[in-house]
Every structure is written in C-alpha cells, then in structure tokens.
Amino acid sequence: MSHSVESELVANVLTVHVSTGQSVTAGDELVLLESMKMEIPVLAEFAGTVTEVKVTDGDVVQEGEVLLVLDD
C-alpha cells in the first residue's frame, strides 16, 4: 500500500536523504526541512520502500505538499 509523506509546514528542503527504490526503517530521516531558521527532520513512520521522490534540495514546499511516497 502506498503512503504519501507530506510537509507539515511551509519550508525549504535542505537535504533529501533517500532515493527511489531505497528501503527505509521506522525512524529513518527521509528529508531535512528548514523553516524560520529551524531544522525539521521528516522521519519514516514505518518500514518500507521509497517509490517516488517529489522534491529536491533547495525546493520550497507548502503545507500539505507531498515530499515522497513510501510503500509498506
């Protein structure tokens, strides 16, 4: 089953730590966001495989925007 990982706020994408096809475990850092000079890690909520990465380093994302898609 596919699950979208979304941004919880308007932010800059500092670093994307995963790529398509990569396996992740619960707690792995997927993306590092920056908002108002604070770094916000986006963590995997469950183990799975990254099927799609929709952002790159330097992108600006909006609240609710899909960052990547995970399959469990």
pLDDT by 10s per residue, the chain, length 72: 999 999 999 999 999 999 999 999 999 999 999 999 999 999 999 999 999 999 999 999 999 999 999 999
Report yes or no on whether pTM surpasses 0.85: yes
DSSP code, position 45: S
Tokens of residue 31, six digits: 């993306």
Instruction: Determine the pLDDT at residue 68.
Output: 98
Domain range for 65 is 2-71
Which residue type is seen at 22? Answer: Q
pLDDT of residue 64: 98
CATH number at residue 10: 2.40.50.100
- Per the structure, the count of domains in the chain is 1
At 32 the pLDDT is 98
